[in-house]
Each structure stands twice: as structure tokens, then as C-alpha cells.
């Protein structure tokens, strides 16, 4: 039995996996990390726990503390030069976010072909994994909600926009929504253009902000819930 915990900048996602399927899962705001202990009370005590955390030391310490009282086998995943059949071409491999590393491990377990791994969370990351298992590099940009929030908080006239995606927006709300979405989509599609001719090239899309991107992407893609959690299970199984 494995428990996977993905602590992101907005939300903590967790799941209990029995080797074949997810038995239980949940989501909470990262600010409410203390509530994770309620969920942990229900987890099987003998399970291995694998965690990726990009939400800072305090969140890591809170999670480690609440698990120490319940689970003996707790491992935090950190990016490295190589793990689970993936090699990391980052200049400083350990600098790569642990969530991106977990997503790459999850992607490799799902596909053997070249792919783009897109995690649409607080930030959007767009990572290139080749058919040999080499992570070649990737992009970090503000997520779609963060882009809209940045406009709202740094301009006098722009609100946090709830508009409609249009090719030729003719009001402020639609212009913001369309601009921020086009920025996300354009980055993904431009990165995909570099791998499009490779056999089986595909884009895996995950994260809380995946749906608005999925609605408009013009490349072959798979929406994959739990990509990061699946990568964590794979990592836990490799220990
Ligand atoms: N119900 C929701 N609560 C919070 N965020 C949501 C919700 N639905 C969609 N989102 C979007 O999902 C993002 C968080 O996704 P997630 O993958 O959990 O990110 P992170 O790993 O950065 O915490 C938010 O920035 C927001 O854009
Ligand atoms: C890029 C991220 C902020 C994404 O975090 P998220 O949106 O999932 O909360 C996180 O993976 C991170 O802090 N990475 C470290 C820097 C890097 O990956 O190069
Ligand atoms: K992300």
C-alpha cells in the first residue's frame, strides 16, 4: 500500500494506492495543511508514504511532523540526476521542482514515446521528455489564474476577469481571459512544435488548471488526473 502526497503552492493532493488502483484521494488548501492529519488518521498505518513538496519548508515540516506520529516509511522525493528510468538534464538537477520530477516519472510510466508534460497549477510548467527517458528541459510561467490575478493587482482598471475565450475579444473581460489563455496555449503549442514530428509525440496535461487549456489546445493531448501522484507511487515502489 502506498500513499502519495503532492503539496503544491495552492493545494495539497493526496491518494491511497493499493498497487493496482486508487482506493481513496483528497484535496485541501495548502494553507490548511494541519487538516491533513484528519485524512492521515484514516490511512493504513503500514503504508509507505511518498511526498513531493514545492510549498516551502514550513509545509514540509508540518507534513513530516503529522506523519511521524503515524507512519514509519516516509520519503520526500527530490529531483536528482536520475530516477525510475528518467535522466535529468537540468544544469543543477536538484533545482528542478519535485512535483515536476514526479510528473515526469508518472509520464514515463504511461508512455514510452516523446512527450510534453504540462502541469497547470499555480504556475504552469511545460517539460520535454524524450523517448529515451531524458528530461531535456522545460518552461515555468505563471498559471492562468495567476496571470489574471497579476493584471488585477498591478493595474488600476483591470479586474480579476471572468470572461469568454474569443479569437477577437471586444470587451475587457474577454480580452483578459483570451490573452491569458492564449499565452498558456501558445507556450504549450510552441514547445510541442519542436517534438511534433517524433513518433507518437503526445502532450500529457495535468493539474487543477488543466480544464480551460484542454478546451482550446490544438495538439494531440491526454488529460491525466493524478499524474504527479502516480509518479510518486512509482517512486515509492522503487524504494
Ligand atoms: N476548486 C479549486 N480550488 C482551487 N484551485 C482551483 C480549483 N479549481 C481549479 N483550480 C485551479 O487549479 C490551480 C491549482 O491547481 P493545483 O494543480 O492544485 O496547483 P498547485 O500544485 O500549484 O497547488 C489553481 O491555481 C486554480 O487555477
Ligand atoms: C515551478 C513550481 C513553482 C510549480 O509549482 P506549482 O505550480 O505546482 O505549485 C515548482 O515546481 C517549483 O518551485 N520548482 C522549482 C524551480 C524549478 O523547477 O526549476
Ligand atoms: K505546476
Q: State the complex-level ipTM.
A: 0.97
pLDDT reported for residue 46: 86
pLDDT reported for residue 70: 84
pLDDT tens string 36-83: 999 999 999 889 999 999 999 999 999 999 999 887 789 999 999 999
Distance 60 CA to ligand 2 centre (A): 15
Residue holding cell 516519472?
105
- In this structure, the answer to whether residues 50 and 120 fall within a common structural domain is no
Residue 9 assigned as binding residue: yes
Torsion angle (degrees, nearest 10) of CA 38, 44, 45, 48: -110
pLDDT reported for residue 162: 96
- In this structure, the answer to whether residues 134 and 208 fall within a common structural domain is yes
pLDDT reported for residue 125: 99
The stretches in the chain having pLDDT less than 50 are none
162 in a domain, yes or no?
yes
Final residue in a domain of this structure, among 76, 102, 126? 76
CATH of the domain at 190: 3.30.420.40
Residue 219 assigned as binding residue: no
- In this structure, the answer to whether residues 126 and 184 fall within a common structural domain is yes
Contact status, residue 116 vs residue 128, Cβ threshold 8 Å: yes
Distance 208 CA to ligand 3 centre (A): 9
48 in a domain, yes or no?
yes
- In this structure, the answer to whether residues 153 and 222 fall within a common structural domain is yes
Beta bridge partners of 203: 116, 221
Residue 77 makes CB contacts below 8 A (sequence gap 6+) with: 50, 51, 52, 98, 101, 102, 232, 235
Q: Is the CB of 178 under 6 A from ligand 2?
A: no
For residue 72, the enclosing domain spans: 2-76
- In this structure, the answer to whether residues 172 and 219 fall within a common structural domain is yes
233 in a domain, yes or no?
no
160 in a domain, yes or no?
yes
pLDDT reported for residue 72: 76
26 in a domain, yes or no?
yes
Count of domains observed in the chain: 2
Distance 50 CA to ligand 1 centre (A): 21
Looking at the CA of residue 119, tell me the nearest atom of ligand 2.
8
173 in a domain, yes or no?
yes
28 in a domain, yes or no?
yes
pLDDT reported for residue 45: 86
pLDDT reported for residue 52: 98
- In this structure, the answer to whether residues 139 and 59 fall within a common structural domain is no
Residue 179 assigned as binding residue: no
pLDDT reported for residue 181: 98
236 in a domain, yes or no?
no
Q: Which of 121, 146, 150, 162 to mutate to test the pocket of ligand 1 (most atoms within 8 A of CB)?
A: 121
- In this structure, the answer to whether residues 61 and 133 fall within a common structural domain is no
Amino acid at each position: 500500500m502506498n500513499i502519495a502526497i503532492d503539496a503544491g503552492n495552492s493545494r495539497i493532493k493526496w491518494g491511497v494506492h493499493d498497487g493496482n488502483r486508487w482506493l481513496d484521494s483528497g484535496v485541501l488548501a495548502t494553507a490548511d495543511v494541519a487538516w491533513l492529519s484528519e485524512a492521515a488518521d484514516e490511512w493504513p498505518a503500514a503504508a509507505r508514504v511518498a511526498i513531493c513538496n514545492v510549498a516551502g519548508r514550513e509545509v514540509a515540516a508540518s507534513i513530516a511532523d503529522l506523519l511521524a506520529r503515524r507512519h514509519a516509511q516516509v520519503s520526500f522525493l527530490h529531483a536528482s540526476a536520475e530516477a525510475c528510468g528518467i535522466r535529468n538534464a537540468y544544469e543543477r538537477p536538484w533545482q528542478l521542482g519535485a512535483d515536476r520530477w514526479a510528473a515526469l516519472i508518472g509520464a514515463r510510466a504511461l508512455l514510452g514515446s516523446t512527450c510534453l508534460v504540462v502541469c497547470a497549477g499555480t504556475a504552469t510548467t511545460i517539460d520535454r521528455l524524450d523517448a529515451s527517458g531524458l528530461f531535456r528541459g522545460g518552461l515555468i510561467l505563471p498559471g492562468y489564474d495567476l496571470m489574471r490575478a497579476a493584471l488585477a493587482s498591478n493595474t488600476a482598471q483591470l479586474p480579476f476577469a471572468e470572461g469568454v475565450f474569443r479569437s477577437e475579444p471586444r470587451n475587457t473581460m474577454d480580452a483578459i481571459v483570451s490573452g491569458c489563455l492564449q499565452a498558456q496555449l501558445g507556450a504549450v503549442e510552441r514547445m510541442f512544435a519542436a517534438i511534433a514530428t517524433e513518433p507518437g509525440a503526445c502532450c500529457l496535461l495535468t493539474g487543477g488548471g488543466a480544464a480551460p487549456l484542454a478546451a482550446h489546445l490544438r495538439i494531440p493531448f491526454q488529460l491525466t488526473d493524478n499524474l504527479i501522484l502516480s509518479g510518486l507511487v512509482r517512486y515509492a515502489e522503487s524504494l
